[in-house]
Amino acid sequence: MVGRDFDGTISKQSSNNNRGASGQGAEEAKLFASEGAKVVATDVQFELLEDVVKEIKANGGDAIAIKHNVTSADDWKMVVETAVKEFEKVDILVNNAGITGLITQTIEDLDEPTWDKILDINTKGPYLGIKAVLPEMKKVGGGSIVNISSLSGINGVGNAAYNSSKGGLRLLTKNVALDYGKYNIRVNSVHPGTIETPMIEMFTSNKEVREMTLAGIPLNVLGQSLDIAYGVLYLASDESKFVTGIELIIDGGSILH
């Protein structure tokens, strides 16, 4: 998969791949680098991130690691400036960083600091990131933004703050897609089902919960980070050049229930 806009030379493509320390972000960073993207991998967990970047470099890829809190506008400014300095431009943004909430918690149990924290990271983070990259994408004649939402951003199952944060991100995606199509900037959301990553270990490590989860997935397996990474790669690449504002659901069929 190559950036056709770039004379077939994918090495000119730069990617600002927000969050890449483990789970889906790490897999996306590695897959993008293997396709020739120059990856700026960012996360609050810097040590894990460095390991991912080392692996990318050992496999001949090009990437840098930056410690970055997605809730900080100053951090976003620094990340975008560094990306442009290192790799000349930013034409891809993957808003992947996120935290979950307790699924057993009803809205009455949900305290305000928890609500604020989940909304800050999962919805305000992407809002700040999108604002930070738009000027750079306009400069280079376009770009692709991929927001990692969730099935919980569509169907309301789970924690109220998490649902609200991911539902908000789903509509933020469509708003920016409508306003920035004229600049050849595409914006899409990805909605993973249950993916085996550190985020959901607390659920899947329990045998009973794991079996209950599997019973809700028609394909009867949990998703893997690479299942999501391929979808993100498609939306980031020129192969999806006529695709904007969509919701790509990757969930083994869970939404059918």
Question: What does the binding site for ligand NAD look like in residue numbers (CB under 6 A)?
Answer: 19, 21-25, 43-45, 68-71, 96-100, 121, 148, 150, 192, 194-195, 197-200
Residue 63's contacts (CB-CB under 8 Å, 6 or more residues apart) are 29, 33, 38, 39, 40, 41, 52, 53, 56, 57
Going by C-alpha positions, the residue among 172, 37, 38, 194 that lies closest to residue 103 is 194
Distances (CA, A) of 66 to 6, 19, 20, 186: 26, 9, 10, 25
* Least distance between ligand NAD and beta carbon 11 (Å): 27
The total of other beta-carbon atoms located within 10 Å of residue 54's CB is: 12
Q: 33 vs 232, which CB is nearer to ligand NAD?
A: 232
Looking at residue 28, its amino acid is E
* Least distance between ligand NAD and beta carbon 149 (Å): 7
Q: 138 vs 174, which CB is nearer to ligand NAD?
A: 174
Residue 192's contacts (CB-CB under 8 Å, 6 or more residues apart) are 24, 148, 150, 151, 223, 227, 228, 250, 251
Catalytically annotated residue among 162, 183, 230, 234: 162
What radius of gyration do the chain's Cα atoms show? 17
Q: 80 vs 148, which CB is nearer to ligand NAD?
A: 148
Going by C-alpha positions, the residue among 175, 180, 170, 172 that lies closest to residue 144 is 180
Active site residue 234: no
For the record, the structure tokens of 185 come out as 């900037």
Length of the chain as a residue count: 257
Q: 43 vs 91, which CB is nearer to ligand NAD?
A: 43
Q: How far apart are the C-alpha atoms of 187 and 147, rounded to whole Å? A: 8
* Least distance between ligand NAD and beta carbon 122 (Å): 6
* Least distance between ligand NAD and beta carbon 158 (Å): 9
Q: 36 vs 147, which CB is nearer to ligand NAD?
A: 147
* Least distance between ligand NAD and beta carbon 154 (Å): 11
Catalytic amino acids?
162
